[in-house]
Structures are given as C-alpha cells and as structure tokens.
Structure 1
Amino acid sequence: MFLVPAAWIGNHWWRRITGMVAVGLTVVCLGLAANQWAGFYPTAGRAWQGLTAQPLPGQISFATLSHLRGNPEPDGKIVPLRTSDSVSRFHHRTEYVYLPPVWFAGDVPPRLPAVVMIGGVVTTPEDWVRSGSALQTVRDYAATHHGQAPILVFVDPTGSLSNDTECVDGPHGNVDTHITKEVRPAVISEFGASDRPGSWAVAGWSMGGTCAIDLTVEHPDLFRTFLDVSGDVGPNLGDRAQTTSTLFGGRAADWDRFDPATAMRRHGPYCGVGGWFQSEGHRHHGSGLTSPQIRATQTLSTVAHEQGIDVVVRPVPGRHNWQFAGQAFTDALPWLMARVDAPN
C-alpha cells in the first residue's frame, strides 16, 4: 500500500510536479551558465571528476613515492602535500604537488625549480588541473625536454569557495604567511626542491594573478618570477576604503604593504626579477584591445619596468575564463622554465 501526501491529492498535483521540475532545471541551467562563464569544466568527464571529488589524474599517496624511485614515470605524479598551519593558523584544504618524470630518475631527487599555482576567488586547489589543463601542459613540456619540468605546487588560497582572501594576511586568513612560511618550506623539505629564490615562481589567474605579482614583488628573497594572468591592479574587495576595511580590518598600513605598485616602489629597484603579464580583452571601435585586466596590466607593467623588473606584456583577445588561463600557462611555460631553471 502506498501513502500519498494529502497535499498532492487533487486535480492540480501535476502543477506541483511541474514546479519541482522547473526548480531543478533552473538550478541546472544556472550551474551550466556559471560553468560557461568561468570555464570550470571543459568536458563532461572533468565535470564528473570534480563534482564527485575523484582523485586527480596520476595522483598517488605520499607513502607510495619511495617505492617509485628509480622507475620510469613518463607522465610524472601528483601527490597530496602535507602542509602545516601552525604559523599562519590558516585552515586550508588539501594541497598538491606535481612531480615531473626527472624527479623519479635516481636514488635522490634533483633540486628542481618550483612554481606555485593559484586560482581565482571561487577556487579549489584542484582547479588548475581540472579546469586550467596545467597537468597536460607540463606533461607535454616534460615529454619534449627529456622529462625535465618544474614541480608544480597547487595551493589553497581561500580555504573555502566563499572566502576572498586575495592572498594577503588579514581577517579572511593569513594566506601570504601560509604560502611563504608553510608551503614553500614543505616543498623544499619533503620533495627536495631547490631553495634558491631564482628557482621559484608564482603563477596565477584572476585573483591568483594578483597574488602572483604580489607575492613576488613583496618577497623577492623567495620568488623571482611571476605569471600574472588577468589579475587586478591590486587586492580589492571594492574601492580602497572598502578593501582596507574588509580585507585588512581597517589597517591602512596593510593596504600599502600588499598593493603591488606601492610594494614595487618601496622595494625597488629589483635585480633578477621577471614577470609575464597576459590579459584578455576586446576591441573597442577599431582600437586596440581593452578591458579592466589589460588596464591593470598596463599600470603594473609600467611600474615594474621602472623598478628594474624584466617584463613581458601580452594582451590577447579572449574571455575571462579557465580556458584563457590554461592557454596563458602554455604560452608562458617555456619562458618561465628558462628563468627558473637557469643558474642563479
């Protein structure tokens, strides 16, 4: 015997079913629209992997690593990174590293360069792999360079999907401290990465692009190269007053500390620091490409050049999405490797 709720009995039960179906379809359509705008999942397969929290391609446990030394690993491996929060008190999600084929070649891993990879505001540490195709890009590079490639470090810059930190230290989390004092030392100690500042780079898209230039110009003793893909002119949650109040708890000195242009003028002139800016734009009445990100690039690249930073500036037609970010990483990787892999 089946029990039917009384509210469903009557001539209009079909309207209730239709309403529920409409709500479900609305949610699905909103999700598809968001995915189309940001390009989170370029294929249905990647969408399924992300939404069901499947392991990343080539992911293994940390305990398995020791058994793979000396064995050919033509694609490299992804391993969860055991990072502390004892210094920053920033509660982060699981972070990951990609280890290239050359890492597995001998009894002792070589002192490889490393690139910190940072996504946008609504992000997870997996996004550069699932949405930005960074794993395929670095595998392709390794395949044509005898297994040589950088260690990629996929960090968590937000701790959740609703926490805009801009990678600074503040009420939303001490992310600058987490990356510089917890992530970087962990990669060096656990995976034998080079500890030379010239062997370290930061790459990011959207908010992550702002993070990339900020971390580098504020900490040239730790990072000497950045890839800023479609970043803003500086950390922001609105205008300067709103950003100072919300992001820095009202501390104007912290706005000065983390504003890239201010930081460059304070720290400069730099020596041995380089940056690649790549931002999307559209043509306006037959003129050159324009967008808020391109205007930010123009401002920051000018200050960077004035302060002795070697800059590459690439305005490119496109949209503000993960596909653009992935292509920018592909474009910049040879240049980036020429810098971080060079003697310094």
Structure 2
Amino acid sequence: MGPLTALDLVQGPLATTAALLALPAAAFLLIGRWRRGALFPLVAAALAAGIAYGAGEWAMSSGLSTHPLPLPVLGWIAAAAGALLLAAGGIYRGRWLRRVLGPVAAVLVVAAAALQINAYYGFYRTVGDLAGASTADIAPLTAASGDARAAAPQPVPLSSWAPPADMPDHGQVRSARIPGTASGFTARRAYVYLPPAHAVRRHPALPVLVLVAGQPGSPADWLTAGRLEHVLDAFAAAHRGLAPITVVVDPNGALTANTMCMDSRIARADTYLATDVPAWIAATLDPATDHTRWAIGGFSFGGTCAMQMAALHPGTFRNALVFSGEAEPALGRSRAATIQQSFGGDTAAFEALTPLHQFKKRHYHHSWAYFAAGAEDAEFTACMHTVASAAAHAGMTVRAEGIPAVGHSWRVPAAALGPALDWLSGRLALAP
C-alpha cells in the first residue's frame, strides 16, 4: 500500500487532529447563536439527540445491530447532526461569513465524528481498508501455486520438525470459495492464512482455526479490523514458524444478513459450518486430523456462532475463541420476533440449539473455551461471564479475560487472539 492508503484511521494522528479541529468548528457554529438567544441552539440540540436516538433504532430495526448503540457512538452521531442543523440555520438566516464558513465547520465536525465512531469500533484501520484496497489483490488459493494439499507430501511429525533455512518469515493469505455441498448455502469469499511452516514442502500437520466475523460484516473484516495476518505472523515467529491454518468463513451470505449460524427457516448455516467447511478444509489444506487441534472463533455475532459450534459439534470443534459474544443468537432486540422469524414461533426448537441449553444436558470435559470482552462493554461482558460460567459447569476448561479501556470493538479480537492462541498452544501441539 502507498502512504495514503496506509494512513492510520484509528490510532494515528488523523483522528486526533480531526477532533482538535472540530472544537473550534463547533464553537464557530454556536457563537452568535447564543448571543441572539438560546432557543435555536437548544432546538438544534434536541433535534440532534432525536436524530441520534432514531439512528440507533434504525440500526436495530434494519439488522445493522442486534443491540443498542453505545453512548459514545450516539453522542458523536448527535454532534454531527447538531453541526449540520446549525450550519443549515446559518445558511438560511446568517450573514455571508456564516453562510460560507458554516458548512466548512459542519464538515469538520462530521469528519471528526465519523473518525471517532470508526475508532470506537476499530473497524477501518487504514484508508486502504476503507477503500477496499487492503484485500483487493489477494490471490486465490490454488494447488498449482503450492498452497493446497495436492502439492504437499506426507506431513512430517511435529517432534522432528525444525524450521529450514528457506522457510519464509511471513505467512500467506489466499482467497477461496467454499461450496455449500451439503447445506445448499451460498457463501461469500473466504480467506485462508497459511503459516510460514506450511510453505515448506515437508511441513507438519498443522492445527485448524476457523474464524467468523461480526454482523453486519464480511470475512475480510478479520484481515483489516482484526489484523489477522499481523497477529498470526507474530505468533508463528515465536513458535518456529508454526501457527494454525486459519480459514475465515462466511455463514451469512450478505453484509446485513443474519443466519444466526443455525439450521432454520432462514438458512442451513449450521450444516454449512459444521459439515461443508470442515470437509473442504480436510480435502484442501492438509491439516491435522485430530480434532482436539481444531478451533473455531469469532467476534460479536461470530463469537456467538463459535460458541454454538463448539456446543453443538464438539467432535468437530473441540476449542472455541469467543470474543464479545452474545448469550444466545438473536435477530434483534425482540426474542419473540427472532424465534418467530427463524422457527415459526417454536421456542423449544430455537432453545434446543443454543449453547446455554446444551450446557444443561451435555458434558464437555474434552473441550476448551477462551472468552474475551471489552472492559467498557458492560452488556457483552455480562454475556461473557454468563456463558463462560455455564460452560465451566458443563465441564469445559475455560478462561475469561477483559480487555482494558475497550468497548464493543474490533480491538477486542485484535488484542485477544494472540493470548488466546498462547493459551491453546500446547493443546494445538504448537508448543511443548
């Protein structure tokens, strides 16, 4: 990427500079308005608050969010709306200076708000992520390029593995289409991370990590917001080039779709994840066959999904990485509406497929689960403790961590994936 596309939108100086410029811009929009009386600014503030509330309600009703928007996000939406309202008032009745500079000031406030909301969620880390340049040139997975199983001989035992001198320093990311052979599900493009050791012709049989993004979202979010390649390369560098073969899959099929990772009236997403995806991985990527060395993880919707797969299919996914997951799948705030849309109102059919129900009737002494949530995300932290406690009571080996100074943000999985893999490294046979 060039200097512009590599510009950091989350932690670099851009967001800070925009916020600093927004302060005098907001002051300019208010100056004079207060001198003429507080009525218009107060009306604008009330309207801005209403717009922010309406935006939160729309996000939930449209499927963009299954939970209320956090207060910092609502505050920035209100600030942007207020700036636009004040600028519009200045254009309508203000002097020429306000008519000229008011829109400029509003744009500065709106830009700062957009950057701060993005920083809260950690979604677009760079300009390249925002423009799609970060994932546009990822090559497809092919046997001819040495990526897939057809090019690999019998794997060597891990006990005799020593990194050869020609092993690359970094892993490779490839794109792939995983067909819904058994499920009939049509998924978007998946991404595969192949660790440095996989590039060696006689490599060990490596463990598997399946990842699911949040909703709304796409598999590419793990590469951009989740910093997947950076995290896995760092892990591999500390483990003789070894890391899980990681496959980021799509159980939704569209940006705002929500299958809840279930087999329901909506789609057969459970069959896709539990049957089609593992079969494709086994046939294509030469992984370890021992499913004690297989894991599934995800963020938000994806974390909920990961826990479902580990609870319903422990023979396939013995390990789960649950980052900011929900207590149970949901299509929105109304549980009744969720059950009606997905199971025709059959509450028992829905609940039978939830992890909390499974934990009451099954034992998971051979399963492990790592949980993480943002320390400032009270709702999902509560969900984490509820599900982690139930999993532990069902026999799972569990660890739960809070990520300091973070809300419901992609910064949670970006920060927690490395420690989660360290915790699992012995179980995945990646460390002594």
TM-score range for the pair, normalised by the shorter chain length: 0.7 to 0.9
* 2:136 is the counterpart of 1:54: yes
Letter in 1 for 2:340: S
- Residue 132 (str. 1) matches residue 220 (str. 2): no
Q: Cα distance, 1:30 vs. partner? A: 7.5
Higher relative contact order (CA 8 A, sep 6+): 1
C-alpha separation in 1, matches of 2:229 and 2:118: 20
Which secondary structure state, in structure 1, belongs to the residue aligned with residue 398 of structure 2?
strand
Find the counterpart in structure 2 of residue 291 from structure 1.
Answer: 378
| Counterpart residue identity of residue 62, structure 1 | T
| Secondary structure class of the residue paired with 1:62 | coil
Does the 8 A contact of 1:78 with 1:97 survive in 2? yes
Quote the offset at 1:239 in angstroms. 3.5
| TM-score when normalising by structure 1 | 0.82
Report the alpha carbon displacement of residue 315 of structure 1 after superposing the two structures with TM: 2.3
Q: Which residue of 1 aligns with 2:121?
A: 38
Question: Structure 2 length as normaliser, TM-score?
Answer: 0.67
Residue type of the partner of 2:413?
A
Of the candidates 392, 396, 399, which is equivalent to residue 309 of structure 1? 396
Q: Which residue of the partner structure matches residue 19 of structure 2?
A: none
Residues 170 and 249 of structure 1 are in contact (CA less than 8 Å); yes or no, is this contact kept in structure 2? Answer: no
The question of whether the paired residues in 2 share the 8 Å contact of 1:113 and 1:193 is answered with: yes
Percent sequence identity over aligned pairs: 30
Partner of 1:251: 346
Alignment check: 8 A CA contact 1:210 1:233 kept: yes
Q: Please say if 1:196 is aligned against 2:275.
A: no
If you compute each CA radius of gyration, which structure gives the higher value, 1 or 2? 2
Q: CA deviation at 1:119?
A: 1.1
CA change 1:151–1:269 in 2 (3 A) is same
* Aligned equivalent of 1:155: 249
Gaps (5+ residues) in structure 2?
1-91, 93-99, 153-163
Q: 1:336 aligns with which of 408, 417, 424?
A: 424
Structure 1 residues 29 and 164, CA gap change in structure 2 (3 angstroms): farther
Q: Distance in 2 between matches of 1:29 and 1:85?
A: 42
Q: Deviations over 1:2-27 (max 9, x none)?
A: xxxxxxxxxx9xxxx99x99999999
Asked if the contact 1:40/1:127 (under 8 Å) is kept, the reply is: yes
Query: How far is 1:31 from its partner?
Result: 5.5
| Number of equivalenced pairs | 319
* Greater percentage in strand: 1
Matching of residue 172 in structure 1 with residue 266 in structure 2: yes
RMSD, aligned α-carbons:
3.1
Question: 1:136, 1:339 → 2: CA distance?
Answer: 22
Return the offset for 1:145.
1.3
Match of 2:322, SS state, is strand
How much does 1:281 deviate?
A: 2.7
Query: Judging changes above 3 Å, is the alpha-carbon distance between structure 1 residues 64 and 37 closer, same or farther for their aligned structure 2 residues?
Result: farther
C-alpha separation between the residues in 2 aligned to 1:158 and 1:100?
26
Partner of 1:9: none
Change over 3 Å in CA distance of 1:196–1:52 after alignment to 2: closer
> Which residue does 1:73 correspond to in 2?
168
1:88 Cα deviation from its structure 2 partner: 1.2
